[in-house]
Structure formats: structure tokens, C-alpha cells
Amino acid sequence: MTHPGTQPSLDLAALIETVQRNERASKSFQDVELRLIGAHDWCAFLEGIFVYLPEVFRLASAGLWLDVRMPLLRDLLESGCGRADLEANLRSGLQGGLALSRLCAGSQPWLGRVSELSDLEPAVSETFFDARTATGSAIVLPLLNRTQLLGYLCLASDDSARFDASMGTDLLARFSRVAAASLDNVAHREHLRKTGVTDPLTGLSNRRYFDERLHHEIRRANSHAAPMSCLFIDIDHFKQINDTHGHATGDLALGAIGTCLKQQVRVGDTVSRYGGEEFVALLMCELPDALAVAERIRIAVEALEVLDDEGRRIALSVSIGVAAYRLNSEANSGAASPEALARSLLDQADQAMYRAKHQGRNRVSLREA
């Protein structure tokens, strides 16, 4: 006879095992995500996808398809990474993406047996799922950076029961977002390297690159009604720092603040040195989130430990102006072109920064209505 307490004990053991398995999966995903976020160039990103990811999850293969309609991705593909073993699993074009999009209806991950892909074009199927996985199972992840589809990541196992449609996709959806943002970040970093628009003192992009990115994001915001905000950041009393401590110390302060700004924004956001002691940030978020980021930056800069030649701490602070882009706003009503809209947004943030200066500095301010 079965003891009355046996079944609950078994159920509890199964629940504990499920929780532990999910925790292990989450930790593994985080390890791969950190590798992708930290990828310093195109080759390092591909290593994360084609070497590290299959190793961590014991996959039979991994394939990446990129949409060549995206100029930055096209530049990546044209420049290459110099390693044939990595580029062997990299595909691009239009037809493959159309086929994969039918699998991922509504841009959702697809899971199932490779044998179920009978309606997929043979050339596409063979590209991502080779003979080793013909009897196995697979995952297809759409890589969406905000509203833009960059491509698809195809992961295959030789175990036909490993991936199926009944599995939860929360971790997969989060991973695909991180992978897409990391890909976009690498693409922009390679673009910076290619066009020489990096500020040598701070390591941030410079004004030329920021203006180009701002115009691009304005067009994207107009097409997809996507949120976007701009910060204009000015170091308080910077001339006094240079006059009192010398330009070498001033350069140290600029470098420290540049690093600080980069640490306070998300992957995919843009921070640039705009000139002198001025910085700008382009954030893919609504106004309340932008205000929170600005306040976080203000606090972080105030806490920086920058020392002068005698080892004394220099007091640093910034005044920050915040403006949010709204497609049909009164402020933008007279600006028809992306360039004019971009200038209007930047001017609004600049005016808000001067308002912060007039209110006493070391604060965040909105443009006056």
C-alpha cells in the first residue's frame, strides 16, 4: 500500500527539480548574454554565437541569418571578420528571411522538430539545419532591435525531443532581445571604427556620428511611432577646473565623465561627446524613463573620484536638459525633414540644459513649455 505522504513528496521533488533546471538555464543564458554584450568587435560577437553558445547549451549547430537591407549589417558582412570557420555559419539575403518569418509568426520564437519544416524552402532548411540535425529539433529566434528585424538565429539539437512547441519561451524571448541589441551595438561600433568618428579622449562617438545616428533614429521613430528622448549634458564650471588645475586634469575629468555616462545607459542607446565639455545622449525610451536616466547620470557624476596633481578630489557635477521626441508635437510641427526634426529635438534638450544652469546647476531640467 502506498503511504499517504508519498505522492505529495514526489510532486514536491519534481517541482524542486523543475525550479533548479530553470535556474540553471537562466544562469547559462546570462553567461552567453554577458559574452555578447561585452563583444568588442564583429569577430568576438560571432564567437559568442557560433562557439560559446553551442558549447554552453550542447547544441549540434547554430546559424545566423542577417537582413542585407540594413545598411549597418551590410557593412558588417562586407567587412568580414577574417575567420572562415565563423563566417561559414553566417547567411544573409532576402529569401531566407521571408521563409523564416513564416515560422516565427508575430515575431515569436519557433520550436519543434526539424522534420516539421517540410514547407520551408529546401535551400533555407539546408542552410541552417544540416544532415546531423535532420532528425533532431530546433529553435528559430527572430532578432528584433526595438521595431527593426535584424535577422534570425537558428539553434539545432540532434535530440528530437529537446525543443518542442509546448516549452516556455520567456527566457528565449529575453535572450533574443539581448542578442539583437548586442548585434546592433557591434554594428554601430564597427561603423565608428570604419568611419573614424570616435572621440579619442573619452572613447565615445563624436558629434559627426551622433548627428548621423540622430537622423537615422528620427526616421525610424517616424516610421514606427517609436519612443525617443535626448539628453544634453554640460559639465558645470569646467573652465574653472582647467584654469585651477590645468588642462591635463581637465582631460582626466572629461575621460572619467565619458566613462560614467556610458555606464549609465543601456545597450543600444547612444552617448557622444558633442564638443568641449558638452555631451549628448540618445535614449530609446519615453520621457519618464529618460528623466530617471538623467538623474542617475547626475548622481553618478557627482560621486566620481577625480584627483588633481596633489591628490585632492575635484568636485564634479553636470547640468542636464531632457527632451522627448513626439511625431505630431507643436514643437516639431514646422520641421518637415528628418534633419530639421533632429535639430528641433536637440535644440529643445539644449534649451532645457541652459534652464538647469540658470536654476543653479547640478540638476536635471525639462524644456519650458
Domain boundaries, the chain: 6-189, 196-366
| Averaged pLDDT, 254-276 | 92
pLDDT of 38? 87
Write phi, then psi, for 202 (nearest 5 degrees): -105, -15
Please tell us whether the domain made up of 196-366 is placed in CATH 3.30.70.270. yes
This prediction's pTM: 0.59
Q: What percent of the chain has pLDDT over 90?
A: 45
| Assigned C-alpha cell, 58 | 550542447
pLDDT of 1? 44
pLDDT of 333? 47
**Which of 26-40, 71-85, 116-130, 353-367 bottoms out in mean pLDDT, i.e. has the lowest?**
116-130
Please tell us whether the domain made up of 6-189 is placed in CATH 3.20.20.10. no
Cα 243–chain centre separation: 39
Enter the DSSP assignment of 48.
Answer: I
Q: Say if CB 64 and CB 100 are below 8 A apart.
A: no
Work out the mean pLDDT of the chain and round it to a whole number. 85
3-state secondary structure at position 274: strand
**Residue range 156-179, pLDDT digits in tens:** 998 988 998 888 888 898 899 999
Strand order through the sheet with 137-145: 90-93, 61-67, 148-157, 137-145, 110-113
Compare 115 and 321 and report the one with higher pLDDT.
321
Is 286 a catalytic site residue? no
3-state secondary structure at position 2: coil
- Beta strand extents in the chain (DSSP E only): 61-67, 90-93, 110-113, 137-145, 148-157, 229-235, 270-275, 278-283, 318-324, 364-366
pLDDT band at residue 260 using 50, 70 and 90 as cut-offs: very high
**Residue range 338-363, pLDDT digits in tens:** 888 999 999 999 999 999 999 999 99
**Residue range 316-339, pLDDT digits in tens:** 999 999 999 876 554 444 456 888
**Residue range 212-228, pLDDT digits in tens:** 889 988 988 887 778 89
**Residue range 14-71, pLDDT digits in tens:** 555 555 566 777 888 888 999 998 888 899 999 999 999 999 999 998 989 998 888 8
3-state secondary structure at position 268: coil
Q: At what angle do helices 170-195 and 6-37 cross, to 10 degrees?
A: 10
pLDDT band at residue 369 using 50, 70 and 90 as cut-offs: very low
Closest-CA residue to 124 (of 154, 158, 84)? 154
**Which of 2-16, 28-42, 218-232, 252-266 bottoms out in mean pLDDT, i.e. has the lowest?**
2-16
pLDDT of 70? 84
pLDDT of 9? 60
pLDDT band at residue 237 using 50, 70 and 90 as cut-offs: very high
Compare 221 and 271 and report the one with higher pLDDT.
271
Cα distance between residue 339 and residue 324, in whole Å: 16
**Which of 51-55, 100-104, 260-264 bottoms out in mean pLDDT, i.e. has the lowest?**
100-104
Enter the DSSP assignment of 133.
Answer: G
pLDDT of 356? 97
Given a cut of 60, whether residue 3 has pLDDT beyond it is no
Q: Which of 33, 190, 217, 277 is catalytic?
A: 277
